[in-house]
Structure formats: C-alpha cells, structure tokens
Structure 1
C-alpha cells in the first residue's frame, strides 16, 4: 500500500517541514522524504509515531479499521478545508 501521500498530508496539515518532523521522530530528514515518496515503507511504530506527532490519530484509526487510502486522503483534505 502507498502511504506517502497520507503521511505528507498529515505533516502539512500541522505545518511541519520535513526537518521539523524528522527531529520529533528522531530520524533524518531524508527518511521523511523516503516515506512520503513511497521509497521506504514505515513500520507500524513509525506510522503511529507520525500520526501522534501530527495529531492525526483519526487517520491511524481509519487505517487500522481498514479504510482505504483514498478515503483517508479525502478525510484529511476535508479537515484541511480543501
């Protein structure tokens, strides 16, 4: 499954740069870029930490409940006002 767009939308919703989020997650900025560009797949613990740090727990719950990526993105975009 492709997670990059979901991860990016959550980060951008909080107004974090890749570097700011990387500092919060204790990883390199290049790792954030790899996750967002679907080069590297996040572990469940990384996905959870990302969602907690971007205050996007509803995305994590939707994902765990089996909602597909498109529906998750539509929900994130609604929250962004777009």
Structure 2
C-alpha cells in the first residue's frame, strides 16, 4: 500500500472530506488530493500532523512498521492483557 492510500484511509476514517481536512491542516483541497494520489510527496511533519488531526497514529505506525493495524492492535492487547494479569499477581 502506498502512503497516499494510507492518508486517504486516515482521512475517511476520521469522517473528513478533503476540504475539511485541508482547512484543519491549513492546506488547499488540491494539495490533499495530490497527496492522496501520490502526485505530491508528503514530508514527515505533514504526515504526523495528518495523523494527529485524524486521530490515526495507529494507522501511520502500522504503515511504518509495514504491518496492518489489526496485527498491531492484537499484539498490543496481548502485551497489555499480560501486564494486567501480572499486576493482579503482584
């Protein structure tokens, strides 16, 4: 999956249309469209602002780790579940 598709998924999951997200990020709708179609390259700061605004840091982390969100979430739940059980015993 390319970064543009990931950015679009993050935007859509947050319920933003391109114009709304453009307003939040102080960009044009055209820039949002170009980023989502990989016609323009997003720098790291832009990607992180996008993730913050769309509350989708989990998706961008999964993308950076080259895995899917469900796999990351499952692993975290196993770790956190183990920690919860560990605190019950001690």
Which runs of no fewer than 5 residues in structure 1 stay unpaired?
77-82
Corresponding residue for residue 37 of structure 1: 37
Cα deviation code 1:22-41 (max 9, x no counterpart) = 00000000000000001001
Task: Using the TM superposition, give the Cα deviation of residue 63 of structure 1 relative to its aligned residue in structure 2, in angstroms.
Answer: 3.6
Matches within 5 A, 1:1-82: 2-64=2-64, 66-67=65-66, 71-72=67-68, 75=69
- Give the structure, 1 or 2, with the largest relative contact order (CA under 8 Å, sep 6 or more): 1
Corresponding residue for residue 80 of structure 1: none
Contact 2:6 2:60 (8 Å CA) reproduced: no
TM-score, normalisation: structure 1: 0.76
RMSD over aligned Cα atoms: 1.8
TM-score, normalisation: structure 2: 0.69
Corresponding residue for residue 79 of structure 2: none
More helix by share: 2
Moved over 3 A (4+): none
Distance 1:4 1:22 in 2: 15
Cα deviation code 1:18-74 (max 9, x no counterpart) = 00000000000000000000100100000000000000011232344x32xxx34xx
Which runs of no fewer than 5 residues in structure 2 stay unpaired?
71-90
- Over alpha carbons, which structure has the higher Rg? 2
